[in-house]
Structure formats: C-alpha cells, structure tokens
Amino acid sequence: MKILSFIAVAVTAAAVSLPVAAAPQVNERAADQLVRKSKCLTCHAIDRKKDGPSFKEIAAEYKDDPEGVEKLTKHITVPTTVEVDGNKEEHGVIDTKDEAAILNVVHWILTR
C-alpha cells in the first residue's frame, strides 16, 4: 500500500511541475515583416492605441481565452467591418494564405 501511495504522490508531483501548454516558438522577424507588409501598423501599434487597439491590448483580451487563437486568426484573415472614430471601415486582412505564417503572427500578437 505504501508503494501505491508513493507512486500516486510522485505522479501528482510530476504532473504539477509540467507546464499546461508549451508556448509555440514565434519567429519574431517573420511576424514583424508580415505585419508590416500587411500594413497592420497603420492602425495598430505594439503598446499604444492608434486607430485600433495596441497589440498589447489585443493580447490581454485573447491570451487567456481558450478560443483566442481561433478568434484572432479569423479576425486577421476574414474581411470584417470595424468602427473607427464613429465611422465604419473595412478591417484589412493579413497578406498571406500561408497558415503557418498566419499562426506565427497570431502567436506573435499574443506574446506582446
């Protein structure tokens, strides 16, 4: 019985010490280049509000949301209308169809 208790404690301790989900590796340079190419920085900045929220604000909104990656991916890949200073404008989409590049940008935003 002591052996089973010891094993249970060891397994529990090991599980607690493991990270819940490892953060994906982000290619900072590729994300920055694609964000610039897509003209995202026209309306967004890393840490200050412009016409759109900062990437830091966006990260705070989505990073703990279990559907955050999916929502943010959709937002940057599907044309939508947004309101800027009371006017409705079309939100641009990322300038690529490469799913890996899109996910890299999404995770780059979420790490701001």
pLDDT along the chain (112 residues), means of 10: 46 42 83 97 96 96 96 96 92 97 97 94
Please give the pLDDT value at position 12.
43
In sequence order, the β-bridge partners of residue 67 are: none
Which tokens sit at 76?
Answer: 């940057």
Report the C-alpha gap between 44 and 85 in whole angstroms.
14
Q: Which domain holds residue 28?
A: 2-110
Q: For residues 69 and 104, what is the distance between their CA atoms, to the nearest angstrom?
A: 11
> For position 77, which CATH number holds?
1.10.760.10
What is residue 20's predicted lDDT score, i.e. its pLDDT? 39
Nearest to residue 94, comparing CAs of 33, 40, 56?
A: 40
> Does pTM surpass 0.85?
no
Number of domains within the chain: 1
